[in-house]
Amino acid sequence: MTPEFVVSFAKEAITLTILVAMPMLGLGMIVGLAISIFQATTSIQEMTLSFVPKIIAVLLGLLYFAPWMLEKLSSFTERVLTNIPTYIR
């Protein structure tokens, strides 16, 4: 294994991690921003008001994006496991 291979492999793994996490993080950010604007306009400063909608949005997003996320992760894992003999050389 060359240093270039290790760097490219790590780059691909980090890119996949960011790509898979992005929908959940984006949904949490959008819902959190909407709740913050709502709290600022109504002067309601309840902490649980911000957590519950974000959790629900992320769980619903997970249900929606789970097949795509699993496909990306399983194809990466299959590619890594298939290429193990070439990695050893």
Structural domains counted in the chain: 1
pTM metric for this prediction: 0.79
Q: How far is CA 79 from CA 57, 66, 73, 82, in A?
A: 32, 20, 10, 5
Q: What is the pLDDT of residue 69?
A: 96
Q: What is the pLDDT of residue 48?
A: 81
Distance in angstroms (rounded) separating the CA atoms of residues 25 and 1: 34
Place of tokens 């709502």: 38
Domain that holds residue 37: 3-88
pLDDT digits (tens, 9 = 90+) for 4-59: 988 999 999 999 999 999 999 999 999 999 999 998 899 888 878 888 999 999 99
Q: What is the pLDDT of residue 86?
A: 86
Structure tokens at 64: 């929606």
